[in-house]
Structure 1
Amino acid sequence: MCLKRKFSMELQRTISSTKGFQSIQNYEKFESLSAQYFNSRPNLSNKKKLGLKQCYLYFLMDPRISRNLPVSAKENSLKELEIWQRFLNSIFYVGKAKSTRPYSHLYNAIKIYNKQELDDKVVCLNAVVNDIQTPKFSKVDHIVDIWRNGFGVVNLHVFHNILPYEAYTREAAVIDAISLPNLTNQKRGIYYGPSSKWTAKGRKRLGIALLYRAMKIFLSEGEIQLYPFDLA
């Protein structure tokens, strides 16, 4: 499965050359500044009962693109730049959550998947489903398409135990770095803390630093695919 994505200018530079890729280490300071702000405010959001560190980020990834990247990177001695490109291209949704929220997308997808199995219809990414009460299900359609092609969805969880406002900020930065048209997300995120006053370039560099760290987590933990029978 070949994708030609055009990321944000800042992220595009990191995949264009080795020198650009190596510049990612200079962006770690943006994550540190943001994290320090939230860690120094333990009572943030208490009025709305959102002050507990129960949140994390999750990425939904397409295994047809990642192609078991943690294993193939080692077996084929892939260069880090190639690993980085494949990781970025495989992400089709970015979300903030606590508890088991990411699985709600998968359960919605199962309803569509089972209906199509029953009706024996041909699946396409623009399929219209009338029995799910949401106007657009592009991420769900993408999940169903993955399943119908014999693969499982990769659901990567990262950055655990963070405050909700920090999770919102990280989600926003990652979406802006990848660029919304490359994702099935419906809208951009919201920034809190120091990043709310940063330039667009600074916010995207925060997103790049977070994406790089997420890639390291992915390579360490391995690729696990979730199939419909895993959720039955």
Structure 2
Amino acid sequence: MNVIFDNLDRYFSGFVLTLQLFVVAGIAALIIGTIIAIMRISPVGALRTFATVYTELVRNTPLTLILFFFAFVAPQLGLGLDYKFLAMIGLSLYTSPFVAEALRSGVNGVPIGQAEAARSIGLGFGQTVTRVVLPQAVRMTIPPLINVMIALVKNTSVAGGFFVAELVTIGKELANANGNAVIPVLLGVATFYLLITIPLGILAGYLEKKWAVSR
């Protein structure tokens, strides 16, 4: 286990980068996914069509292919961004349709009478969705949304194949340099991942209990 303590600084640098990828991509995915979910239930046919095509296209495209595009094709288009930021964009786009579908399932679980009552008192579509339907949908979709975020944490490891030195990349380098201590090296990587995923699971349980009565 000495290999872990001797390389804590490298583990920590990989952990920080993994955390950055997760936080930035997670927030962006939640924003994009919410917009796509609203478009999926919009009365405007063109918006529904765009959201449906976007969802089906992106979520059925391998993450490796998306990150390959941002790592090798996007720089040729003159974006001028660091590989880390390109990876964040790729991860957020890939995760957003899963967020959208989770929210849409929550929207479908809100009684139709809620929306009808809101419209009857003069609220428009946007007001009905943001003030009445979406808050209830979010409460019902906390567990699947947290699962999407946990999957995002794991998906950050794919960025390691595209010039981003996150946890798995650090683990590979340490394993190559310490061939007699591969298992401890991998245990160290797993431990740092758990520092992110376990609190997410605890948060999901807390929010689910807190909002159970409200549902």
Report the TM-score when normalising by structure 1: 0.28
Q: Which has the higher strand share?
A: 1
Report the TM-score when normalising by structure 2: 0.30
Report the structure number with the largest CA radius of gyration: 2
